[in-house]
Structure 1
Amino acid sequence: MKQRLLVDMDGVLADIYAQLIECEYQDLGIRQSIEKMNGTSEVDTFKNALKYIYADGFFRNLPVMDGSVEILRQLNEKYELFIVTAAMEFPNSLIDKFYWLEEHFPFIHWKQIVMCGSKTVVKGDIMIDDHFKNLDYFDGKGLLFTQPHNLSGNDRNHTRVNSWYDVANILL
């Protein structure tokens, strides 16, 4: 039986920071450097983060993380794979996220997509996520995908991965 692998979308497959940087630049003419964001949340970093995140189309237009498409394709063959994304807080994101996944990861069947409010309800063997709040309550192995908001403090017994190439080295 294949191990169940749960993969987050925002900050893992989709580059939410790049999108926020671009939105803020278009809106306010400010282009922030990702290197200066370490240890701060998206809402603390970007003045209008919630305005951007709640806007129609924000999640539909997120850039794809480097290496994620090909590596996820390989993982899909080896594992019982599910994309698990918290979508209920931002209702506009539901349809955007579905069509984004359909466009960039067409090999992921709609039955492999879980949109939820809390990830504490999902069960699996391995979870890749960028938020401690999701990994800390997960019973399986946690892979912490590096993002500026999770760089402060220790890794809380999760294995840190800095890229999809790190994920491949561990799971493939």
Structure 2
Amino acid sequence: MKRIAIDMDEVMADANLRFREWYERDYARRLTAEEMHGKHYKDMVLPEHRELTMKYPYVEGFFQDMPVIEGSPEVILELSKKYEIFITTAAMQFPTSFVHKYEWLKNHFPFIPTTHFVFCGEKGIILADYLIDDHVRNFKRFTGQGILFTSPHNVHETWTPRVNNWQEVAALLL
């Protein structure tokens, strides 16, 4: 059985929406799609807000109850019938995220065994046929095929294959 490694944030869990929610909460300012297009978080916000907003992922609760990216549970369930699925999330830089990410995965993806949750830093250590991720840098040392999941910060990255949603993942891998 072939193996698929899947990133969590911005692929399964909508970290962009959480960032925008907290930014609006703290600064009463809603980020537009145009402000987000082609930008990383630090470039989306006003310069005077950067210091605080760049700390969001380190704050207890940031990763708790994130919205699910549309289509991910259904497509991943179908993929799990054909592939061995591992969730590979870069949690090492955000130590307060472990429990929340673990609980989120158990809640939204109960069909994935907890033994297939991989909390890592360097994704190049993952042995899989495919890695679905929103960061091209994670494909650099990965020996399988990287599949770039579109997110506002990576729209200008050149990578093939690229998918824009979970329906495109299904078309590619099912």
- TM-score, shorter chain, exceeding 0.5: yes
Counterpart residue identity of residue 101, structure 1: L
**Partner residue of 2:138 out of 113, 134, 159:** 134
1:35 equivalent to 2:34? Answer yes
Structure 2 counterpart of 1:159: 161
Match of 1:64 among 38, 47, 68: 68
Q: What is the root-mean-square deviation of aligned Cα atoms in Å?
A: 1.2
Counterparts of 1:34 and 1:18, CA distance in 2: 11
The superposition leaves residues 55-103 of structure 1 with CA deviations (integer Å, 9 ceiling, x where unpaired) of 1111112110000011111111110110000001000011110001011
Aligned residues: 169
1:96 to 97, 100, 115: 100
- Listed as ranges, the gaps of 5+ residues in structure 2 are none
Look up the SS of the partner of 2:104 in the other structure: helix
Q: In structure 1, list runs of 5 or more residues that go unmatched.
A: none
With normalisation by structure 2, the TM-score equals: 0.92
1:119 & 1:146 partners in 2: Cα distance?
18
Structure 2 CA distance for aligned equivalents of residues 8 and 42 of structure 1? 18
Q: Distance in 2 between matches of 1:34 and 1:11?
A: 15
How much does 1:141 deviate? Answer: 1.2
1:55 aligns with 2:54: no
The answer (yes or no) to whether the contact 1:43–1:49 under 8 Å persists in 2 is: yes
Q: Secondary structure of 1:62's match?
A: coil
1:98-125: CA deviation from partner (whole Å, max 9, x where unpaired): 0010111111111110001111111110
Equivalent-residue separation in structure 1 for 2:169 and 2:35 (angstroms):
25
Question: What aligned pairs does 1:102-121 form with structure 2 within 5 A after superposition?
Answer: 102-121=106-125
Distance, in Å, in 1 between the alignment partners of 2:7 and 2:157 is 21
- Cα deviation for residue 45 of structure 1 reads 2.1
- What stretches of structure 1 move > 4 A for 4+ residues in a row? none
Matching residue of 2:11: 12
